[in-house]
Amino acid sequence: MTEQLRLSPIGYVECAAAEATPRDGWEEIESRVVLRSDLAGGLEGLSGGRKILVVFWFHRSDGFELLQHPKGDPTRPKRGVFTLRSPRRPNPIGVTVVDLLEIEGNVLRVRGLDAFDGTPVLDIKPVRNGKEC
């Protein structure tokens, strides 16, 4: 497996979570996913009031460990990285199902996205009945 992958962001996240990492409470944070304007046509048929899956790049993540304390809490026993939502992964890709509140042009207002301000967005997918469609 020597093939390299090339990914390009389709947009980025704007939100108030710029520096501090909330351990919990992400589900209440509202963010804006700003798509590249040339991709806005890809939102046709999508509307507020539903759930979407946002795929993003943990751009601040630096390295990984196969065993980590959940949520970085040293009082909890270490677990394998593939059993956690940690940003410190072999490929720092994040995925979160969020509430899509509204769309205005190339901007999606969402609630529950656990990504910092400036996070590159790789893809958006619809969710139906809690499952990707």
pLDDT at residue number 24: 61
Q: Quick one: what percent of the chain has pLDDT higher than 90?
A: 61
Res 104 pLDDT > 60: yes
Q: Counting Cβ atoms within 10 Å, is residue 88 exposed (0-12), middle (13-18) or buried (19+)?
A: middle
pLDDT at residue number 27: 73
Are the C-beta atoms of residues 54 and 96 closer than 8 Å to each other?
yes
**Domains identified in the chain and CATH numbers:** 11-17+26-132 (2.40.30.70)
b/e per residue, 13-30, with b = 16+ CB within 10 A? bebebeeeeeeeebeebe
In tens, the pLDDT along 34-58 reads: 999 999 999 999 999 999 999 999 9
Are the C-beta atoms of residues 70 and 87 closer than 8 Å to each other?
no
**What tokens appear for 42 in the block?**
């890809």
Helix (H, G, I), strand (E, B) or coil at 128: strand
Q: What mean pLDDT do residues 6-22 have? A: 81
As a whole number of angstroms, the distance between CA 111 and CA 123 comes to 17
Which residue is associated with the tokens 């509202």?
Answer: 30
Mean predicted lDDT score pLDDT of the chain: 89
Half-sphere exposure in the Cβ direction for 112 (13 Å, CA): 13
Res 97 pLDDT > 80: yes
Over the Cα atoms of the chain, what is R_g?
Answer: 16
Nearest alpha carbon to residue 78 among 59, 65, 88, 91: 65
Residue type, 76: R
